[in-house]
Amino acid sequence: MTATHDQHGGHAAEGYPEHFEPPRGRAWTMAFGPGLVRGAWMALRVVGLGALLVVALRAWWGWSPYWDTHIVLVVGAMTAAPIGFLAGIGSFDYWLHYVSGRPTRPEDHSGHGARTWRDYFKVNTDHKVIGIQYLVTTFFFFTIGGLMAMLFRAELAQPGLQFVDSQTFNGLVSVHATLMIFLFIIPAFAGLANFAVPLMLGAPDMAFPRLNALSFWLLPIAGLMFLASFLVPGGAFASGWTAYAPLSEGQPMGQTFFNMGVQWAGASSIMTALNFLVTIITMRAPGMTFWRMPLLVWANFTTSLLVVIATPFIAGSQFFVMFDRIMHTDFFTPEGGGYVLGYQHIFWFYSHPAVYIMMLPGFGIVSEVISTMARKPIFGYRLMALSLIGILVLGFSVWAHHMFVAGMADWLRVPMMITTLLIAVPTGIKVFSWTATLWRGRIRLNTPMLFALGFVTMFVIGGLSGIYLGSVPIDIHASDTYFIVAHIHYVLFGGSVFTIFAGVYYWFPKMTGRMYDERLGKLHFWLTFVSFNATFFPMHYVGLRGMPRRVFDYAEAFGQLNFFISIASFVLGASFVIFVYNIVTSWTRGPVAESNPWRAHTLEWQVSSPPPIFNFDEIPQVVGGPYEYGVPGARHAVMSPAKEHVAEQEEVHA
């Protein structure tokens, strides 16, 4: 038993005498107590069980050969092993104890709070710890995805093949996109929201803390699965993150890692989203009506609805592809009666709403930052919330705009174009409202604000290129070219990633109790802003001029510009180093932050930095809107002033 566990064991024994565990040695606990060690050996053990099951069943049915590596990998390594790992680290301990009638650990919330950095590597049910676990994990995968991008940008600096072979190139492109979408943008927002939303609601935690922990631990599984695909014969999955059938069906084994990795990442998203929905609906503090919720909460409410409704579709699409690959079904193979375009319809029915899953939380973050830093109420609060709902509803009616040149039914094009273009209306409302919030404000141009304003301008470019692509005739020319690559990076990098940076800087003092370095933050912003534009703006040009996407080789005419783009992308990569340096040094020895350095009104800033283990020493009573800046005497909530827990935190970090 570790020191922590001894404490809880003792504590539990007092109140619940029937709950008794014999004292164990340190080595025993290391090997058999919940944790990464038990996770590792349990994962390995069930790989063996899975393999045995496959061989036994094949032998029983008389299928030769009994050993099929591909099937063994699917059953053993990609299905059983993750479950074994999750059981090993202790994700299921409480439930298994409960189900099997053994005494459960009393609800003493011993899993709450992180006392040392080691606690971040354990199953923890504290939403603040989970939020930070999410963020660190996602930035880890962001780094890997970024390095991959720089590798294939090096390849693209000249026409022809220089560094990697064709399959590796396609693999790098595919894994880059997959990591950035499933292991960075979507879960990074989930991480920020995990930290901020319960605090903003005045709740002690999420509604289902154990489910919350489980949904985090599914994430590294998905990430490692995507990365592991590089190690199998034939290399990583190489049919793009869109994995269109039938190309994906004829691919080597690596493709199956995508099919299954998406399942784990998707399950993680769905569980988190359900958790957010229940938390937001049922755990608001007294007086926190829907019309008093901060816009970040609104944004995560709508995002969670999108996730819950849409994500099963991508799971389905990948299962169908996998069944076609390993069970010889014919969902998407025309020879067997399958329908190729069916894949795209199912895939985009998730993947278009996924664009909003990757955007709406960012809208929320930016609303918080702009209102606070401009010291003004957000302009048109209700319309801001309603426009999120508008995007949610419209977002489900536009998927086929990804298929204007796919050969789908002609009549479907114009209606999909109209709904697509109409999304500009709620989005426009948001952009105009942010600019109106700036108007006559008292603007503090610090790092979060710089990223928020950078987002507003860059996102407008991404939105406008989206208008070009929404128009069917222009899309017929520009689809599948570098114009698309430029568009999605303006939306997802200039859009989502900028807001993630804004959010990380904004909540950094709240999360860590320390302040980041403002000068380095500004340097990071300007370097990122300039190199981002230098990298992605010229891509509009090469795309319209005739360069298709996902190619390692291209016409000589695009050589010079591609060289320029590659150099700019390396600068963009370098700018991230400044961010990492700033975060790491500030986290370890930055100046101690005040509890409310931005003088924000929302609830998370009314408690100490970092917040107490159960967030609020007393339940706050919400009495007004969240952004009543400049209104004399206005309060968002009534509660006693923040107790400074600084001294206590000093101990932890020492």
Per CB under 8 A, 440 contacts other proteins: yes
**Closer CB to other proteins, residue 139 or residue 529?**
529
Q: Which is nearer to other proteins, 68 or 330 (CB)?
A: 330
Spatial separation of the C-alpha atoms in residues 366 and 457, rounded to whole Å? 12
Nearer to other proteins (CB atom), residue 158 or residue 471: 471
CB of 21 to other proteins, least distance (A): 53
Among 6, 553, 617, 650, binds other proteins (CB under 8 A): 553
- Does 551 help bind other proteins (rule: CB under 8 A)? yes
User: Do 498 and 536 touch, CB atoms closer than 8 A?
Assistant: no
Distance (Å, whole) CA 625 – CA 292? 5
Site stretch for other proteins (CB under 8 A), options 177-185, 256-264, 497-505, 622-630: 622-630
Looking up tokens 């939105």 gives 463
**For residue 602, which of 315, 140, 288, 319 has the smallest C-alpha distance?**
288
SS3 state of residue 323: helix
Question: Residues 443 to 482: which contact other proteins by CB under 8 A?
Answer: 443-446, 453, 456-457, 460-461, 464, 467-468, 470-474, 476-477, 479-481
Q: How far apart are CA 150 and CA 156, in angstroms?
A: 10
- Region of 86-94, 199-207, 433-441, 572-580 interacting with other proteins (CB under 8 A): 433-441
Give min distance, CB of 538 to other proteins, in A.
Answer: 10
Min CB(238)–other proteins separation in Å? 8
Distance, in Å, from the CA atom of 534 to the CA atom of 563, rounded to the nearest integer, reads 11
Smaller CB separation from other proteins, 239 or 256: 239
591 binds other proteins (CB under 8 A): no
* Whole-angstrom distance, CA of residue 447 vs CA of residue 521: 6
Single out the residue of 9, 33, 380, 624 in contact with other proteins (rule: CB under 8 A).
380
Tell me whether residue 44 or residue 405 sits nearer to other proteins (CB atom): 405
Q: How many alpha carbons lie under 13 Å from residue 295 in its C-beta half-sphere?
A: 30
**Minimum CB separation from other proteins for residue 511, in Å?**
20
Nearest C-alpha neighbor of 287 from the set 628, 639, 620: 620
Do 322 and 253 meet the contact criterion of CB atoms below 8 Å apart? Answer: no
Which one of 24, 58, 545, 635 is in contact with other proteins (CB under 8 A)? 545
CB 541, min distance to other proteins, A: 6
**What b-and-e string marks burial along 40-54, b requiring 16 or more CB atoms within 10 Å of the CB?**
eebbeebbeebbeeb
C-beta neighbour count of 205 within 10 angstroms: 21
Using the minimum distance from each CB to other proteins, give the nearer residue, 105 or 402.
402
The answer to whether residue 496 forms part of the interface with other proteins (CB under 8 A) is no
Q: Is the peptide bond before 610 cis (omega within 30 degrees of 0)?
A: yes
Least distance in angstroms from the C-beta of 534 to other proteins: 14
Residue among 128 and 514 whose Cβ is closer to other proteins = 514
Q: Is 331 helix (H, G, I), strand (E, B) or coil?
A: coil
Q: List the interface residues with other proteins, window 239-298 (CB under 8 A).
A: 239-240, 244, 246-247, 250
DSSP state of 494: I
For other proteins, give the closer residue by CB, 55 or 431: 431
Cβ-based nearer residue to other proteins, 414 or 580:
414
Task: Tell how far CA 255 is from the center of its chain.
Answer: 22
Binding mask 393-432 for other proteins (x = CB under 8 A): ------------xxx--x--xx--xx--xx-xx--xx-xx
The interface with other proteins within residues 624-643 (CB under 8 A) comprises: 628-631, 634
Size of the site for other proteins (CB under 8 A): 89
Angle at 282 between CA 280 and CA 286, to 5 degrees: 95
Looking at residues 75 to 104 of the shown chain, list those that interact with other proteins (rule: CB under 8 A).
Answer: none
Residue 515 in 3-state DSSP? Answer: coil
Contacts 24+ apart (CB under 8 A), 616-619: 616/202, 616/204, 617/643, 619/202, 619/285, 619/286
SS (H, E, C) 150-174: HHHHHHHCCCCCCCCCHHHHHHHHH
Question: Rounded to the nearest whole angstrom, what is the least distance from the CB of residue 116 to other proteins in the complex?
Answer: 33
Q: Which of residues 511-530 bind other proteins (CB under 8 A)?
A: 518
Q: Which is nearer to other proteins, 428 or 591 (CB)?
A: 428
Q: State the minimum distance, in angstroms, from the CB of residue 85 to other proteins.
A: 33
Site for other proteins in 330-359 (CB under 8 A): 334, 338-341
154 binds other proteins (CB under 8 A): no
Query: What's the half-sphere exposure (Cβ side, CA atoms, 13 Å) at 647?
Result: 2
Residue 460 CB, nearest distance to other proteins (Å)? 5
> Any idea what DSSP says for residue 184?
I
Contact call for residues 59 and 9 (beta carbons, < 8 A): no
Residue in 234, 548, 573, 612 binding other proteins, rule: CB under 8 A: 548
- Binding to other proteins by residue 377, rule CB under 8 A? yes
Q: Is 374 in the site for other proteins (CB under 8 A)?
A: yes
**HSE-CB of 519 using CA atoms within 13 angstroms:** 1
